[in-house]
Amino acid sequence: MAAVAIPGAVLIVATACLLLALPLGIDPLWQVEPVTLAEAAALRDTGEIMRLIDRGQDPNRAQTVRADLLRNEPVVITPLEAAVAVDRPEVLQVLLDNGAVLDNAIWTRLSCFAREIGADDARTVLDARRPAGAADECDHVETPW
């Protein structure tokens, strides 16, 4: 009888403990890790991108992306650059639809970066949104890496 009951009983008791911890502000199952906007882009988290922008964060500001999210070491990049780094067109589009600026200089830098790392899907989005007069030359363009 115990062999049958123990696993279910353990689950029920553990669940009860989780529920009792909620009024104390402890919610292990829904522990939300705070991230920067650039990290949200690196994590393909378009929901968090919009939430942070709605709360007033600047989608054009370079921010730290912690180690092991994009590279082994922390990097400081803009959310748009992070979106290109993970080659996610939907992340790019959400940023651009919600206030991220894509002027000539930024477009060139992002396009060269995408070409450098082989981010073809991101390049498709960038090409569709190319500002008039944006240069295609990458010779003297500094990319995040």
Alpha carbon distance 123, 121 (integer Å) = 5
- The minimum distance between CB 102 and another protein, in angstroms, equals 16
Determine, following the binding rule CB under 8 A, whether residue 3 of this chain makes contact with another protein: yes
59-94 in b/e form (b: 16+ CB < 10 A) is bbebbebeeebbeeeebebbbbbbbbbbbbbebbbb
Choice from 23, 24, 25, 32 touching another protein (CB under 8 A): 32
Q: Which of the ranges 47-55, 77-85, 104-112, 126-134 carries the binding residues for another protein, by CB under 8 A?
A: 47-55
Segment 53-112, which members bind another protein (CB under 8 A)? 54, 69, 90, 93-94, 97
Nearest to 95 by CA among 128, 24, 46: 46
Alpha carbon distance 145, 53 (integer Å) = 26
Determine, following the binding rule CB under 8 A, whether residue 16 of this chain makes contact with another protein: yes
Choice from 21, 26, 47, 105 touching another protein (CB under 8 A): 47
# of chain residues touching another protein (CB under 8 A): 38
DSSP-derived secondary structure for 91-113: HHHHHHHTT----HHHHHHHHHH
Enumerate binding residues for another protein (CB under 8 A): 1-12, 15-16, 18-19, 22, 29-33, 35, 43-51, 54, 69, 90, 93-94, 97
